[in-house]
Amino acid sequence: MIRSPIAAAALLLTTHPAEAASDAAMRFGAREDVQQISLSPDGKRVAVVQAAAGHGMALLIASPDTGAAHIALQASGDPDHLTSCRWATNDRLTCRISMIIDNGTDKLSYSRIIAVDADGKNLKVLVNQTTFRSLGVAQDGGRVIDWQTGRQDGSVLMSQVYVPEYSTGTHLASDREGLGVDRVDTVTLKRTNVETPQRDVVEYISDGQGTVRIMATRGSDSRGYDKNTVRYLYRAKGSRQWQALGTVTYNGDVSSGFVPVAVDSERDVAYGFDAANGHTALFSVALDGSGKRESLLARNDVDIDDVVRIGRQNRVVGASFVTDRRQVEFFDPAVSKIVQSLSKALPKLPLISIIDASADENRLLLFAGSDTDAGHYYLFDKTTHQLAEVLLVRPQLTDVTLSPVKPISFPAADGTMIPAYLTLPPGSDGKNLPGVVLPHGGPDARDEWGFDWLAQFLAHRGYAVLQPNFRGSTGYGEAYFAKNGFQSWQTAIGDVTDGGRWLVKQGIADPAKLAIVGWSYGGYAALQSNVVDPALFKAVIAVAPVTDLETLRMEHQNFTDFYTVDAQIGRGVHVRAGSPAQNAARFVAPVLMFHGDTDVNVGVGESRLMASRLKGAGKSVELVEYHHLDHQLDDSNVRAEMLDKMDAFLRTSLHLPPAP
């Protein structure tokens, strides 16, 4: 295995928080150096979206063969965020820029696709530009849906929103409206319309060969809210005629029906997900008019939740699921053989995935990591069988001892076994420790085995950390999901508090030194746990939490997904009873909250409401707001400061000695 010299160059961009932060907080709070990475068509260069100073991003162009590296682009993160880049040719890339703008009523997300040369020059915006006649502004700046495999001119297929123009007094105005597809030359910006825009269209799926094969439509009501059904249509090979593929019905965050995600041109099928025996399974459906349906992968214990793709055609080569850790079943024997060989070469890094490939697929860009290793990126050459390390994900943690993550399960009050992950401090005997229950966000999400920077920081500081996949988590089937973590909050929060009791019963956690920490829905769970059992947790930390279900509903009133959120939350007495801000008088433990003031997932007003209600009830609460940051608090300085504040708060609340 060869170690690439790129790492030394890349470290020049490593973010270092303020000197006031502790060494541990700086190391664990630093954002991943590699935020996103792609491989050029010839396999000779990588494009790395890398964390820069503050909450900025930079585009690093590097050659694994020579070690040469340079910065092509930088974005401050205020408000422009560089989120991803991929090669259109060997010398030109397309990148996605996003930002959050406050219009005085709502905070709105905008995005644009740009094209830029590998040296940072010749930057152009790949989007239909609005004019003074335009009747609005497109928030979504478009998406590349096909990289036009085999073409050398750098053209791509882009889906993008067309905005109609004011036509009074002119014959030049465009009346095209809705989502369409253009073939766009990333150098000259010449565009050719491929799919006429239509108002109700929400998605197009290409076959990776430059042909759109599937279209999804979703209507809206008179108020502009999305309806709860999505209709999928397909085209047979060589035809321009749309035919019905199927309809998917959504009830909040639960769907029924076949959801296509990819097209295999060679097999002439669509891959997609549908329910089977109470779990999500992967199917293929023929696109030749026969409608032949085949089950490709299904399990009776967990959901199949993702397809594995490779190369510039994004061809599907397998599917993945999570038991106690993520596993992949490959449909392509050649790819399976390669991954098996790589697993033998990297025995301490079992989480291996193919990130990208050269156009001929002779060079593969890989990620490999584990629970105690945040990960490495490697370049594998199939012709020479050489494996070269390209970059570390978190070089700041290279010499830090991390803690193994152990999959466990514990019984809930009704006897249901709840899967979870337990992380103990390095070198600990696992007895009578200060403990932290760390529920995940979502709620329609789940924790997985692997590296978790927040759990590892807490373990490093001496806490036993339990991450429960409470009922309402995804991945375990329809029955386990219940009605989701909001409508079934009593079950979900009951599982979370039962996790805390299990830590105590096992002798792992000292009952007087038990706390709960959560982010997003996890923050909601942390707060609501104090409503359910005020005596259990002695300290509560919530980052960007939902605090009032009715407020969360109203946050979406001006957005098209209102019906989805409304159905997810539901109506009834559970709404008030399940809102921590409505039950502040029950709190006993002190509360610490963090929130970014440009959060579009959960408005900062929810934390402000919670803090106000707790103060009004005479409870101990502190709210730390961070300006110009969103839900993820993507700033290394801020995260380092937050980790130190968390640790200090826990030590004071749990009567622990100061940090060493």
Digit-coded pLDDT (tens) for 250-301: 887 788 999 999 999 999 999 999 999 999 999 999 999 999 999 999 999 9
Q: Lowest-confidence range among 11-20, 210-219, 454-463, 606-615?
A: 11-20
Give the count of beta carbons closer than 10 Å to the beta carbon of residue 272.
Answer: 26
Q: Which helix (H) or strand (E) holds 630?
A: none
pLDDT for 6: 55
Q: Which two tokens stand for residue 191?
A: 């565009």
The Cα–Cα gap between 293 and 305 comes to 19
Q: Lowest-confidence range among 145-149, 260-264, 504-508, 619-623?
A: 145-149
Q: Tell me the pLDDT tens digit for each residue of 318-344.
A: 999 999 999 999 999 999 999 999 999
Banded pLDDT at 35 (limits 50, 70, 90) = very high
pLDDT for 17: 41
Please provide the size of the chain in residues. Answer: 660
Banded pLDDT at 131 (limits 50, 70, 90) = low
Bigger pLDDT: 130 or 378?
378
pTM of this structure: 0.93
Banded pLDDT at 163 (limits 50, 70, 90) = confident
Q: Which two tokens stand for residue 114?
A: 């740009």
Q: What is the mean pLDDT of residues 345-371?
A: 96
List of long-range contacts for 635-638, beta carbons under 8 Å, 24+ apart:
635/31, 635/54, 635/55, 635/77, 636/15, 636/16, 636/17, 636/26, 636/29, 636/30, 636/31, 636/51, 636/54, 636/55, 637/15, 637/17, 637/18, 637/21, 637/29, 637/54, 638/29, 638/55
Q: Tell me the pLDDT tens digit for each residue of 498-545.
A: 999 999 999 999 999 999 999 999 999 999 999 999 999 999 999 999
Would the CA dihedral through 449, 451, 453, 455 be positive or negative? positive
Would the pLDDT of 349 be above 70? Answer: yes
Q: What is the mean pLDDT of residues 61-74?
A: 94
Q: Tell me the pLDDT tens digit for each residue of 572-589.
A: 999 999 999 999 999 999
Banded pLDDT at 166 (limits 50, 70, 90) = low
pLDDT for 164: 75
Average pLDDT for the chain: 92
Pairing status of strand 293-297 against strand 279-286: antiparallel
Banded pLDDT at 370 (limits 50, 70, 90) = very high
CB distance 28 to 76 below 8 Å = no
Would the pLDDT of 550 be above 90? Answer: yes
Q: What is the mean pLDDT of residues 633-656?
A: 97
Banded pLDDT at 613 (limits 50, 70, 90) = very high
The Cα–Cα gap between 652 and 121 comes to 53
The Cα–Cα gap between 386 and 229 comes to 49
CB distance 338 to 317 below 8 Å = no
Bigger pLDDT: 646 or 14?
646
CA 289 to centroid of chain Cα atoms? 35
| Cβ neighbourhood burial of 334 (10 Å; 0-12, 13-18, 19+) | exposed
The Cα–Cα gap between 373 and 392 comes to 10
Residue 69: half-sphere exposure toward Cβ, Cα within 13 Å: 23
Would the pLDDT of 84 be above 90? Answer: yes
Q: Which two tokens stand for residue 539?
A: 């300290």
Q: Which two tokens stand for residue 3?
A: 């170690």
pLDDT for 2: 40
Q: CB neighbours of 80 closer than 8 A, spacing ≥ 6?
A: 97, 98, 99
Give the count of beta carbons closer than 10 Å to the beta carbon of residue 615.
Answer: 13
